[in-house]
Amino acid sequence: MTTVHTVGTLLQHEGQLHIQAGGLTYNRRKSRLCKTKKEAFVGRILALGSVHMDIIANIDRSTKKNVDKIGSLTYTVGGTAFNVAANLRHGGQNVALYSVLKAGSHSSTTITAEMGRRGISTAYIRFQRLPAESGFIAHTENGEVQSAVSCIGIQDANLDYNDIAKAINNSSLIAIDCNLATEQIHQLHKLAKKSGKPLCICAVSESKVSRIFNNKFSDSGPAFKFVILNQNELAKATAGKTAISTEELCKSFSTEYIILTKSQIGFDVIEPTARHENLKVNVEHVVSPLGAGDALYAAMCHHFSAQGKLSIEEAKEDARRFLVPVLTSKHATPVVKGPHKGPSPDRTSVLAIGALLGAVTAVVYGFFGPGLTRFTFGILLIVVAVLSGFSGCQIDLLITQEEADPFRAIDRKNAIVKQAFGVAAGVISAFLFFLPQLIGSREFQDLKQSEPVPFGLQVLIPFCFIVAFIGGLTADAILRRVKLIDISKIEPSKAERPE
C-alpha cells in the first residue's frame, strides 16, 4: 500500500529555505481556487492543533545504504493546524488558527512571521513554557516518507478551554488532530457539542490513531462529522480484525464519515451504510505527492462547512481544486507570492490616527481662525465631516477586527467598502446636525449679507466633528451587525497556477 501521511506531516512555505548542493532558493507563489465570483464560503473554520517546524531530508538514492546520506534539506513551518489553515486561507476560505507555542523559542518567532505572510491571524496563538521544542523531522525519497520523528508540544500544553470556547462559538466548523492528547480531544468534543458546531479530526500517524479508535466520546451519536486518515493508519487501528463492516468501522471511530486518503490517486468515503471507493481527483502532471493528505483534509473541511453534508460529486470537485496546487508543484502546501496584500493593522492604525489628527486640525483652525470666508468655512466643514467619519470607521474596524474577523491582515475589499460607508455616514450625520442649526438662525442671515463667517457658526464645527465621528463608528458597527460585509464571501485576488 502507498504510504500517505495526512495533514500535519509535511509542509513547504513561502520563504522556505532549500539547502541543496550548496545553493539557496527563495520560491514564493500564490494561487486561487474559487470556481466563480459567486461562490460563497459559508462561515469560518477553526483549525485547532499543532503548529511547529518541519525539517525534511530528501535522500539521494545512491547513498541510501550509507549511515551518513547525501541529500537536500528543507526547513519549513508545519503542523496539522497550520497546514489546514494555510490550505484553506489559500483557497479563499475564512479560517482562524488556534495553537500553543513554546514561549521564548526562536521557532515561535519564525512561525508567527510565516502566519503573518500568509494572512493568518495570530489572535488565537498562545505561548506557554512547554517542556520541549515541537517539531517534525522526516527522511523522504522521491517525495515518499521513509521514516519520521515528531515531538508535539501542544499535547502537554495547559489549554484554556474557556478561551477556546469563545473561538469555537465564532466558528462554523472545528478541525482538530490527533497531535492533541486524548483528554484534550474529549474536552474539545464537549465544547463543540455544547455549541452545536461540527467537529472533524485527522489521525496524523499510525502512532496516534489509537487516540480516537474505540475511544468512547459520546453516548448520543457520533462525536465527529468526519475522520480523515490514510490506509496505513486504518490498518494499524483495525489490526487483528477481519471483515469489519462499514457501520462498525464508523462506530469505532465515533464518526459520521471516514475519509480515506490515497495520495494523488484520490480518496474513499466510508459511511455506516455504504463505501464509496476510488473517488479519483484526476490531477495531471503530478510533481510530488507531499501534502496530498493536508490538502484533502482542508478540502473536506471546506466542503462540509459550505454544504453541511456530503455530496460525492461536489466533494470530488472540492478535493481536486485543493489538491491541484499541491500535487502539481514540489511544495507540500500552497505558497504565496509576497506578503498578504490586505492593509495590516499597523497601516489601519496610521490611517485612523492620521485622519483623526487631520480632522482635529481642521476643527482647531475652523474654531479659532479669524475672518473665515464662506468658501473656507464650507471647505472646512466638508473636510471635518469626511475625516471624522473615516477615522471613526477605521478605529472601529481596528478595534473589532480580531473579534469579528480575526485575520492578521484586514481584507482590502472589506476595508475599502467599510471606509466608504464610514465617510458617507460621517458626512450625512454632520450635515443633518448642521443644517437645522443653520437654517433660520440670525447667523445665517448675517452670513448671506456679508463676510466673514459669524463666530456663532464657527462654534458648530467641533460639534460636527463629534457627530461625524460617531456616525463613522456607528456605520462600521451596523455593517458588522447586519453582516453586509462578510470576508468569507469575498473572492480572493487573482492568482497564478503553481508550477
At residue 484, the pLDDT reads: 43
Query: Does CATH number 3.40.1190.20 belong to domain 17-327?
Result: yes
Q: 3-class SS at 165?
A: helix
pTM of the shown model: 0.63
Averaged over 231-239, what is the pLDDT?
92
H helices present in 336-482, as ranges: 345-368, 374-404, 412-438, 442-449, 455-458, 460-482
Mean pLDDT of the 320-336 span? 83
Report, as an integer, the average pLDDT of 320-341.
77
Smallest Cα–Cα separation from 86: which of 1, 133, 29? 29
Tell me the C-alpha distance between 421 and 424, whole Å: 5
Contacts of 382 (CB under 8 A, 6+ apart): 427
Whether residue 346 is predicted with pLDDT greater than 70 in this model: the reply is: no
| Nearest-angstrom CA–CA distance, 429 and 438 | 15
DSSP string, 400-426: HHHHHS--SS--HHHHHHHHHHHHHHH
Average pLDDT, the chain: 78
CA distance 497 to 32: 8
Segment of 31-35, 72-76, 248-252, 278-282 carrying the highest mean pLDDT: 248-252
Q: In the structure grid, which three cell numbers stand for residue 119, read together?
A: 494572512
Q: What is the pLDDT of residue 15?
A: 33
Specify the pLDDT at position 227. Answer: 97
Q: How far is CA 210 from CA 168, 216, 241, in A?
A: 25, 12, 14
pLDDT of 94-122, one tens digit each?
899 999 999 988 889 899 888 888 888 88
Helix (H) or strand (E) holding 313: helix 312-327
Domain regions of the chain by residue span = 17-327, 345-489
Mean pLDDT of 83-87: 92
- Cell triple for residue 137? 523531522
